[in-house]
Amino acid sequence: MTSVMPFRGDKMTVRAFISVDLDRNENIVEFASALKRAEPTLKVVDPGQIHITLKFLGETDEKKVPAIGDVLREAARGIPPFTISFKGAGAFPSMNRIRVIWVGVNDVLPLATIAGRLDERLADLGITREARPFAPHITIARARSDAPHPALRQIIHDRKDMEFGVQEIKTIRLKRSILTRCGPEYHTLEEVTLS
């Protein structure tokens, strides 16, 4: 376990989430670029910030961060590094109302195990349990409106069965999200290495 970013300043809460950070993936970069060319108003995720969210915490009391770090270590216990694959693309809430464009994640049992443990143990800290089952995905872009996007639909459809690559997962991280005019900035607060 490595504590990466100390707390400073007078802010009493942090906007936080727990994630698996992903390496830059050229197939995903190409997909995002094609989407942006087709619809310049899309908010495309920075390729250096793509991740899989295991648990979104929202505004969290800074005083809970050490305890959340303990939960992270507990959730990762006994899970060695593992490989996931990225396959397929789609949109939430539907292809007719595109708001979020995603790439699918396969081989997710270790991720689901960690996410389930996090959800259960964080509830003891007063953090709300997830209402929906864990459905890992990589958010690639967000649309600013529900307007019909025929060009986007075609680009996504062309990649609905595409294999985007694989990655070995070795760490999980507690991240702080700072919203700026240029988009979110993420800072690692705690990092746990799988072993």
Domain with residue 29: its CATH number is 3.90.1140.10
pLDDT for res 106: 95
CA neighbor of 160 nearest in space, from 91, 85, 84: 91
- 137 is an active site residue: yes
Q: How crowded is the C-beta side of 187, counted as CA atoms within 13 Å?
A: 13
Mean pLDDT by 10 residues, the chain (195 residues): 48 91 96 94 91 95 95 97 97 92 95 96 94 93 84 95 97 93 89 95
Q: Which of 137, 149, 157, 187 is catalytic?
A: 137
Give the domain range for residue 10: 2-193
Q: Which of 51, 149, 157, 187 is catalytic?
A: 51
- Structural domains of the chain, count: 1
| pLDDT at residue 183, rounded to an integer | 79
